[in-house]
C-alpha cells in the first residue's frame, strides 16, 4: 500500500525555480546525483569502521550509471548507506538547512537561478530538470525493509514498501522527451569526465550487452602531485566537496611533514555562502585517514572564524577507528589545526599584497574573519594585520593597520577608532573634530564584531588601540576666536545638567570640538553608545547604561550667546528650548533617535522661519 505525501512549501518553490529556469545547465543533475551517491558510500564506509558486519556481502563500493534508450530512462545506483522511510521523508521532502529555506522563501519566483545554484547547489531536486518522474528504490544498511519513493516533482511523493536485494539506492529517471540525450553513452562519459572525474569510487557505465566500463580516474586528488593536477581538476574537486558552483578564490594544496604528517587541500570560495552567519552553518572540512573518509564534522580542525574554508585533511597518523569523542580531545588534531591555520594566514598575507584581489575575499568573509582577533588569541595580531578598515583617511579603499601606522603623525602615539552604524555618519561625528585638526587618522568601524575585538586587542605592533573617547589627548585645538565668559558658561552648564539629569550624567566644557556646539560621549572605559544600541537591538540590554557626557564647545557662537542669556532670568525658557534642541542634535550625530521628534521638528521650523523673516528685513 502506498502513502501519499506533500513536499514542504519551500521544496515546491525550489522545484519550481529549478525546473523552470535552468534550461542551459540541465546536465548538472548528473553530478548532483553522483555526488549524493558518493556521499552515501562515504557514510557507509565510515559506519563500517565500527560495524564491519553491516555491509556483509556488499562488495566494492561503486556508482553505476545505466542508461536505457528504449525505455528512455537513466538509473543511477550506489551501494552506499541507503535510506529508510524517515530518511526519504526528511531528506527528500523537506529542506533541512535553515539558511537554504530562508533563502528560498525570500527569493522571488523569478529570481536568478544562477544565484541559487551558486549559493547552494540544487542537490537532489535537480533530477526534475530532466525527468518528469523519479523512482527511488532504497534499502538502508542494517535494516531489512526496502522502500520505493515516486514523484513527478509537482504533487508531492508516494512511498511504499518494496523488495531490494542489497543495500544502497537506485534512482531511476524517466527522462523528458527533450532530454533523451542523457541516455547517450558518449555524452554520459563526457559529463562524468568533465564534472565527476575526481569521485573517489568507481563510476561504472553499464551498457547492457556491450558490458561495463569504469569511466572516472578517481584516485583521491590530493594524493597526486601538484604538478599533475590542472586548475580545472582542482575546481571540480572544490565544487564537489563544497557543493558550490563558483570558482575557488584560493586553492591551497600542501603536505606537512615533520612530527606529524598530513596532506591538506583547502579552498576559499569566491562567493559568500548565504549561511555564513547562520548558527547551523557547517564547517567545510572533511577528515580522511589514509584516503578513507572519516568525518565532516570535526569542528576541532578549523577555528570558527575560518568556517568558510572548504577542503580536506588527510593524515595517516590518526587511528582509523577514531570516534568523535576521541577526535575532540586528540592532540594530533590540535596540531593539524595549528598547522593549517598557519598556512592559511601565510597565504592570505601573500594575497593581501594585491588590494584588488584581496578585497574580493574581504568583502565576502572579512566580517567572519575578524572574529579571529578575539577567538584566536595566539594569532590575533596577525589576523588584525590582515584585516581591512574604513578610516578618515582611507578614501574609497579600505586600510590596513600597517598602512595606518605608516601615515601616523610623529606626535601621534595611538591608533584611534570610533564605532557606529554608518561610515558617512561616523565621518561627521563632532568628536572627530580635534583629530581632524591635528591630522590624526581615525578608523571608522561599523561592523558589530568591531565592538568586541577592540576590547580584546589592546595594541597592535606596540601602538595602543583606543576608542577616541578613551584617547588621553594632551592636545587642544588652536584657538583664536572668542570664548564664552567663564562665570556665565558655568551657569549654563549647571542649568543644562539639571535639565538633563535623567539622561546625561555630566555636562562639561571641552576644548576638543571645532565646529559643533555640543557632542555626546561616555565616561572613560564604559560601553560605547554604539555597543549599547547593538545590545538593545538584540534585546540584550542590561539594566546597566553607560553614563553619558554632554560636551559643550565654549567657543561656539551659540554657546557664547546662551551663556550671555543666563544673566537675564526672563530668558530661561528660551535657553531651555535651545538646550533641548542641542541635545537632540548631539544624539542625531551619534545615530541615536531624538527624544521628542515633534518638539524637535516644530521648534526647528520656528527658528528657520524666524531666520528667513529676519533676513527679509
Residues that bind Mg ion (CB under 5 A): 36, 123
Rank residues 78 and 551 by Cβ distance to ligand ADP and give the closer one: 78
Question: Which among ligand ADP, Mg ion, none contacts residue 221 (Cβ within 5 to 8 A by kind)?
Answer: none
Question: Which among Mg ion, ligand ADP, none contacts residue 81 (Cβ within 5 to 8 A by kind)?
Answer: ligand ADP
What is the smallest separation between the CB atom of 77 and ligand ADP, expressed in angstroms? 8
Rank residues 140 and 370 by Cβ distance to ligand ADP and give the closer one: 140
What is the smallest separation between the CB atom of 400 and ligand ADP, expressed in angstroms? 37
**Coil, helix or strand for 294?**
strand
235 burial level (CB within 10 Å; 0-12, 13-18, 19+): middle
Rank residues 123 and 517 by Cβ distance to ligand ADP and give the closer one: 123
Rank residues 138 and 553 by Cβ distance to ligand ADP and give the closer one: 138
All cell numbers assigned to 415? 591608533
Nearest to 85 by CA among 165, 153, 139: 139
CA distances from 98 to 101, 103, 105, 239, 242 (A): 5, 8, 10, 21, 17
What is the smallest separation between the CB atom of 322 and Mg ion, expressed in angstroms? 26
Rank residues 139 and 370 by Cβ distance to ligand ADP and give the closer one: 139
What is the smallest separation between the CB atom of 103 and ligand ADP, expressed in angstroms? 14
Rank residues 123 and 248 by Cβ distance to Mg ion and give the closer one: 123
Question: Which among Mg ion, ligand ADP, none contacts residue 83 (Cβ within 5 to 8 A by kind)?
Answer: ligand ADP
Rank residues 91 and 577 by Cβ distance to Mg ion and give the closer one: 91
Question: Which among ligand ADP, Mg ion, none contacts residue 371 (Cβ within 5 to 8 A by kind)?
Answer: none
Q: Which residues contact 12 (CB under 8 A, 6 or more apart)?
A: none
Rank residues 244 and 400 by Cβ distance to Mg ion and give the closer one: 244
Q: Report which residue's Cβ sits closest to ligand ADP.
A: 123
Question: Which among Mg ion, ligand ADP, none contacts residue 553 (Cβ within 5 to 8 A by kind)?
Answer: none
What is the smallest separation between the CB atom of 245 and ligand ADP, expressed in angstroms? 12
The residue ranges that bind ligand ADP (CB under 6 A) are: 32, 36-37, 39-40, 78, 80-83, 91-92, 123-124, 169, 243
Question: Which among Mg ion, ligand ADP, none contacts residue 577 (Cβ within 5 to 8 A by kind)?
Answer: none
The answer to whether 80 and 61 are in contact (CB under 8 A) is yes
Nearest to 220 by CA among 306, 315, 101: 315
Q: What are phi and psi of 520, to 5 degrees?
A: -100, 140
Q: Which residues contact 599 (CB under 8 A, 6 or more apart)?
A: 580
What is the smallest separation between the CB atom of 116 and ligand ADP, expressed in angstroms? 13
What is the smallest separation between the CB atom of 284 and ligand ADP, expressed in angstroms? 12
First to last CA, the chain: 94
Torsion angle of alpha carbons 152, 153, 158, 161, nearest 10°? 80
Question: Which among ligand ADP, Mg ion, none contacts residue 37 (Cβ within 5 to 8 A by kind)?
Answer: ligand ADP
Residue with cell 578575539: 374
What is the smallest separation between the CB atom of 92 and ligand ADP, expressed in angstroms? 6
DSSP state of 282: P
CA distances from 176 to 7, 33, 124, 257 (A): 21, 17, 17, 52
Given the DSSP bridges, would you call strands 506-509 and 548-552 parallel, antiparallel or unpaired? parallel
Question: Which among Mg ion, ligand ADP, none contacts residue 352 (Cβ within 5 to 8 A by kind)?
Answer: none
The answer to whether 50 and 158 are in contact (CB under 8 A) is no
Amino acid at each position: 500500500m502506498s502513502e501519499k505525501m506533500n513536499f514542504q512549501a519551500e521544496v515546491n518553490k525550489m522545484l519550481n525555480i529549478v525546473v523552470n529556469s535552468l534550461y542551459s545547465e540541465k546536465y548538472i543533475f548528473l553530478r548532483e546525483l553522483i555526488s549524493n551517491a558518493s556521499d552515501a558510500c562515504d557514510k557507509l564506509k565510515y559506519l563500517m569502521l565500527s560495524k564491519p558486519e553491516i555491509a556483509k556481502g556488499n562488495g566494492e563500493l561503486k556508482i553505476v550509471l545505466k542508461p536505457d534508450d528504449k525505455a528512455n530512462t537513466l538509473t543511477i545506483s550506489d551501494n552506499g548507506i541507503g535510506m529508510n522511510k524517515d530518511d526519504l521523508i526528511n531528506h527528500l521532502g523537506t529542506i533541512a538547512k535553515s539558511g537554504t529555506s530562508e533563502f528560498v522563501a525570500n527569493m522571488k519566483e523569478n529570481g536568478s537561478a544562477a544565484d541559487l545554484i551558486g549559493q547552494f547547489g540544487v542537490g537532489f531536486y535537480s533530477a526534475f530538470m530532466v525527468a518528469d518522474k523519479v523512482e527511488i528504490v532504497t534499502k538502508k544498511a542494517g535494516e531489512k525493509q526496502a522502500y520505493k519513493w515516486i514523484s513527478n516533482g509537482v504533487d508531492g511523493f508516494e512511498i511504499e514498501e518494496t523488495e531490494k536485494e542489497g543495500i544502497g539506492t537506485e534512482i531511476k529517471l524517466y527522462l523528458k522527451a527533450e532530454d533523451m540525450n542523457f541516455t547517450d553513452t558518449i555524452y554520459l562519459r563526457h559529463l562524468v569526465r568533465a564534472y565527476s572525474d575526481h569521485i573517489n569510487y568507481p563510476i561504472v557505465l553499464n551498457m547492457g550487452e556491450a558490458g561495463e566500463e569504469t569511466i572516472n580516474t578517481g584516485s583521491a586528488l590530493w594524493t597526486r602531485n601538484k604538478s599533475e593536477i590542472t586548475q580545472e581538476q582542482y575546481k571540480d574537486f572544490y565544487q564537489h566537496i563544497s557543493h558550490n558552483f563558483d570558482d575557488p578564490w584560493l586553492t591551497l594544496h600542501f603536505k606537512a611533514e615533520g612530527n606529524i604528517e598530513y596532506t591538506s587541500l583547502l579552498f576559499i570560495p569566491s562567493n559568500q555562502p548565504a549561511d555564513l552567519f547562520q548558527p547551523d552553518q557547517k564547517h567545510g572540512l572533511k577528515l580522511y585517514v589514509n584516503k578513507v573518509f572519516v568525518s565532516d564534522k570535526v569542528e576541532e580542525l578549523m577555528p570558527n572564524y575560518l568556517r568558510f574554508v572548504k577542503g580536506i585533511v588527510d593524515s595517516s597518523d590518526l587511528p582509523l577507528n577514531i570516534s568523535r569523542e576521541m577526535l575532540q580531545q586528540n592532540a594530533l588534531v590540535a596540531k593539524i589545526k595549528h598547522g593549517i591555520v598557519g598556512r592559511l594566514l601565510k597565504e592570505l598575507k601573500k594575497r593581501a599584497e594585491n588590494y584588488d584581489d584581496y578585497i574580493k575575499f574581504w568583502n565576502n568573509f572579512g566580517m567572519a574573519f575578524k572574529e579571529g582577533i578575539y577567538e584566536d588569541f595566539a594569532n590575533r595580531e596577525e589576523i588584525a594585520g590582515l584585516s581591512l578598515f574604513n578610516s578618515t583617511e582611507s578614501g574609497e579603499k579600505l586600510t590596513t593597520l600597517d598602512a595606518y601606522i605608516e601615515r601616523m603623525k610623529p606626535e601621534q602615539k595611538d591608533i584611534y577608532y570610533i564605532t557606529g552604524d554608518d561610515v558617512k555618519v561616523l565621518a561627521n561625528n563632532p568628536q572627530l573634530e580635534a583629530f581632524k585638526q591635528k591630522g590624526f587618522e581615525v578608523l571608522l568601524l561599523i561592523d558589530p564584531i568591531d565592538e568586541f575585538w577592540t576590547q580584546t586587542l589592546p595594541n597592535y605592533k606596540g601602538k595602543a588601540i583606543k576608542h577616541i573617547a578613551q584617547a588621553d589627548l594632551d592636545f587642544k585645538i588652536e584657538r583664536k576666536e572668542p570664548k564664552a565668559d567663564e562665570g556665565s558658561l558655568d551657569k549654563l552648564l549647571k542649568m543644562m545638567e539639571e535639565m538633563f539629569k535623567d539622561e546625561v550624567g555630566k555636562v562639561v566644557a571641552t576644548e576638543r570640538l571645532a565646529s559643533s556646539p555640543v557632542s555626546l560621549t561616555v565616561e572613560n572605559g564604559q560601553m560605547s553608545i554604539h555597543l549599547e544600541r547593538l545590545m538593545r537591538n538584540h534585546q540584550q540590554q542590561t539594566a546597566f547604561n553607560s553614563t553619558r557626557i554632554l560636551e559643550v564647545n565654549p567657543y561656539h557662537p551659540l554657546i557664547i550667546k546662551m551663556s550671555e542669556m543666563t544673566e537675564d532670568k526672563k530668558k530661561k525658557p528660551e535657553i531651555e528650548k535651545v538646550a533641548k534642541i542641542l541635545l537632540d542634535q548631539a544624539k542625531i550625530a551619534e545615530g541615536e533617535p531624538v527624544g521628542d521628534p515633534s518638539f524637535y521638528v516644530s521648534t526647528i521650523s520656528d527658528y528657520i522661519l524666524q531666520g528667513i523673516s529676519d533676513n527679509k528685513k
